[in-house]
Chain A
Amino acid sequence: MIALGAAAGLRPATLVSGAPPDSGMKELADAALAAAKAGGASYADIRINRYRNQFIFTRDRRVQNIVNTEDYGFGVRVIVDGTWGFSSSSQVQKDEVARVARQALEIARANKRVNAEPVRLAPVKAFQDDWNTPVKKNPFEMPIQPKLDLLLQIHEVALKVPGASFVSAFMQFVNEQKFFASSEGSLIQQSLIRSYPFFQITAVDKAAGKFYNRASLTAPMGSGYEYVEGYPLLEEARVAAEEAVAMHKAKPAPVGQKTLILHPTNLWLTIHESVGHSTELDRALGYEANFAGTSFLTTDKLGKFRFGAPQVNFVADKTQERAMATCGYDDDGVKTTKWHLIKDGMFVDYQTTREQAHLIGQTESHGCSYADNWSSIPFQRMPNVSLEPGTKPLTEQDIIGATDDGVYVKGDASFSIDHQRYNFQFSGQTFWEVKSGKITSQLRDLAYQSNTPEFWNACDMLGGPSTYLLGGAFGDGKGQPPQSNSVSHGCPIARFQKVNILNTGK
Chain B
Amino acid sequence: MIWSREQAKALIDRALALRKADELLVSLTGGERGNVRFARNTATTSGASAGYTLTITANVGKRSGTTTTSTFDDAALERTVRAAEEIARLSPENPESMPVLEPQTYGPTRAFFQDVAGASPEWRAGVVQSALDLSKARDVVSAGFVETAANIQAVGTSKGLFGYDAYTAADYNLTARTPDNTGSGWASHSFNELSKIDAKRISETAIDKAVRSKDPAAVEPGKYTVVLEPAAMADLVVFMMFSGDARQADEGRSFFSKKGGGNRIDEAILNEKVRIFSDPAYTAAPGTAFDNEGLPVTRIEWVDKGVLKNLFYSRFWAQKQQKTPTAQPANIIMEGGTATVDALIKGTERGILVTRFWYIRPLDPQTILLTGLTRDGLFLIEKGQVTRPVKNMRWNESPIVAFNNIDDMTPAERVVSGEGIGGGGGFQLSVVCPAARVREFTFTSASDAV
Contacts and interface: CB of A to CB of B under 8 A. Distances in A.
B253 A111 contact: no
A420 B449 contact: yes
A107 B47 contact: yes
Contact of B363 (A71, A90, A166, A414): A414
B252 A204 contact: yes
Interface stretch (B62-70, B337-345, B433-441): B62-70
B43 interface: yes
Interface string A219-230: 000000000000
Contacts of A71: 53, 68-70
Interface in A77-110: 83-90, 92, 103-104, 106-108, 110
Given A88-B51, A114-B42, A209-B252, A72 B448 contact: no
Contacts of A114: 36, 38, 42-43, 125, 128-129, 132
Interface string B60-102: 0000111111110000001110111011001110111000000
A289 B143 contact: yes
Contacts of B174: 290
A2 B35 contact: no
B96 A286 contact: no
Contacts of A209: 252, 257-260
Contacts of B175: 289-290
Contacts of A73: 51, 70
B65 A72 contact: no
Contacts of B362: 414
A458 interface: no
B244 to A, nearest CB: 16
B392 interface: yes
Interface in B350-400: 358-366, 369, 371-373, 375, 392, 394, 396
A86 B66 contact: no
Interface string B227-265: 000000000000000000000000111000111110000
Interface string A250-291: 000000000000000000000000000000000001111111
A128 interface: no
Contact of A419 (B33, B49, B251, B358): B358
Contacts, number: 297
Given A211-B366, A418-B359, A482-B425, A290 B34 contact: no
A377 B145 CA distance: 14
Contact of A66 (B40, B91, B259, B365): B91
| Best-buried of A9, A420, A480, A481 by chain B (most CB within 10 Å) | A480
| Best-buried of B66, B82, B252 by chain A (most CB within 10 Å) | B252
Contacts of B67: 8, 67-70
A111 to B, nearest CB: 5
A68 B54 CA distance: 12
| Best-buried of A62, A202, A208, A423 by chain B (most CB within 10 Å) | A423
Contacts of B42: 114-117
Contacts of B40: 117, 285-287
B65 A66 contact: yes
Given A418-B358, A418-B449, A482-B425, 11 more contacts: A62-B92, A66-B87, A86-B48, A145-B90, A148-B91, A202-B253, A206-B261, A285-B40, A290-B175, A293-B375, A379-B45
Q: Which 10 A-B pairs have the closest CB atoms?
A: A86-B47, A209-B259, A110-B121, A420-B449, A375-B49, A90-B51, A423-B447, A418-B449, A9-B79, A289-B143
24 contacts: A7-B82, A7-B86, A65-B64, A66-B65, A66-B66, A88-B47, A89-B51, A107-B48, A116-B42, A117-B40, A165-B252, A289-B177, A290-B186, A293-B449, A296-B449, A375-B49, A414-B363, A418-B392, A419-B359, A420-B450, A422-B449, A445-B364, A449-B445, A505-B366
